[in-house]
Chain A
Amino acid sequence: MDIWMRENPLTYVWIGSYAVAFLVLAVEIALVVHKRKATLQEVRQLLDVEESE
């Protein structure tokens, strides 16, 4: 690992830090979008139940 990182510093920096960081941010965006859809669906269901009552 030590030898590889010194021979390929830019790959190490790219994959190790930037790819991981952007992956983390992408997962967060996906979770926020999912939460939004789930909440909207929940609210719609609640309103449907209230209407039918």
Chain B
Amino acid sequence: MFYPLAGKLVPWFAVSSAILFAVGMYLGFFVAPTDATQGEFYRIIYIHVPASILSMFLYLVMAGYAALGLIFNTRLSSMMASALAPTGALFAFIALWTGALWGKPMWGTWWVWDARLTSELILLFLYLGFISLHASIDDPRRADRASALLAIVGSVNVPIIYFSVKWWNTLHQGSTIKFTGTSMQVTMQHAMFTMLAACWLYAVAVVLSRVRSIILERERHTKWVAELPEVAL
């Protein structure tokens, strides 16, 4: 049921994502005005902020699926957790990379051991730890359980990243987008939210594609896999 549905949804998410990336880039580079204090360098935020948000959000979703798999022993939940980890790790990497690119002209340095930056780096290591731990255990069910524990424990880091700019005196600026609203200029908001939607749709498309491969791999001995049209080719 899930496997064919995911296959049908992937192209829609992928095409929507590509369109929104193009629109978001156009708004971000050609419509949004230059920032009064940061000049053109601020335009990094259109990829930096969505990547940071996605890296945290995907971790929580991954930990949620991992917990479901651990508690209810549902195979698909554990497969979803495994499929989410590489995409989350890449978004964490992009957030750190683009943050460093922004930090150099604004702060005069690529990196500082600031609470926000350090906790985001820990998030990347948690993703890599999850992937490595899962890959290091041969039995998939045992690998699911062990990596689920790591994912659940590591989820403590996500609120630390989010609130780090409030709890500690950090070089990283405070949140511009809050649950209560934002003080950003309207065109900048449009560009930012379009890019956020593009990244979100991209993540859904890639994760669904990856989970389909994981399902095929794990269920390869079942009858329904043998009857799939793409397998029977």
Q: Which chain B residues lie closer than 8 Å to A18 at the CB level?
A: 25, 47
Per a CB cutoff under 8 Å, which of B87, B206, B209, B216 touches A40? B216
Interface digits, B79-97 against A, CB 8 Å rule (1 contact, 0 not)? 0000000110010011001
B226 adjacent to chain A (CB < 8 Å): yes
Complex Cα distance, B94 from A21, in Å, reads 6
Q: Which chain A residues lie closer than 8 Å to B105 at the CB level?
A: 5-6, 9, 12
Instruction: Assign chain B's interface to a size class.
Output: 35 or more
Q: Which chain B residues lie closer than 8 Å to A42 at the CB level?
A: 217, 220
How many chain A residues touch B (CB < 8 A): the figure is 27
Cβ distance B169 to chain A, nearest Cβ, rounded Å: 27
Q: Is A21 a contact partner of B206 (Cβ separation < 8 A)? A: no
Complex Cα distance, B93 from A13, in Å, reads 17
A-B contact count, CB below 8 Å? 78
Complex Cα distance, B233 from A47, in Å, reads 12
Report if A35-B44 is in contact (Cβ < 8 Å); known contacts: A21-B94, A21-B98: no
For the residues of B in contact with A, the DSSP-based class is helix
Q: Is A21 a contact partner of B217 (Cβ separation < 8 A)? A: no
Q: Is B94 a contact partner of A24 (Cβ separation < 8 A)? A: yes
For the residues of A in contact with B, the DSSP-based class is helix
Q: Is B225 a contact partner of A43 (Cβ separation < 8 A)? A: yes
Q: Which chain A residues lie closer than 8 Å to B230 at the CB level?
A: 40
Q: Is A39 a contact partner of B217 (Cβ separation < 8 A)? A: yes
Q: Which of the 9-residue segments B35-43, B56-64, B181-189 touches chain A?
A: B35-43
Instruction: Determine which residue in B90, B101, B221, B225 has the highest number of CB atoms from chain A within 10 A of its CB, and name it.
Output: B101
Q: Which residue on chain A has the smallest CB distance to residue B25? A: A18
Give A contacts to B, CB under 8 Å. 2, 5-6, 9-10, 12-13, 16-18, 20-21, 24-25, 28-29, 32-33, 35-36, 39-40, 42-44, 46-47
B1 adjacent to chain A (CB < 8 Å): no
Cβ distance A47 to chain B, nearest Cβ, rounded Å: 6
Q: Is B86 a contact partner of A28 (Cβ separation < 8 A)? A: yes
Cβ distance B150 to chain A, nearest Cβ, rounded Å: 22
Complex Cα distance, B25 from A44, in Å, reads 42
Complex Cα distance, B12 from A52, in Å, reads 39
Report if A35-B104 is in contact (Cβ < 8 Å); known contacts: A18-B25, A21-B51, A24-B94: no
Report if A16-B202 is in contact (Cβ < 8 Å); known contacts: A9-B39, A35-B210: no
Q: Is A20 a contact partner of B97 (Cβ separation < 8 A)? A: yes
Q: Is B231 a contact partner of A17 (Cβ separation < 8 A)? A: no
Q: Is A29 a contact partner of B231 (Cβ separation < 8 A)? A: no
Complex Cα distance, B25 from A14, in Å, reads 10
Q: Is A43 a contact partner of B41 (Cβ separation < 8 A)? A: no
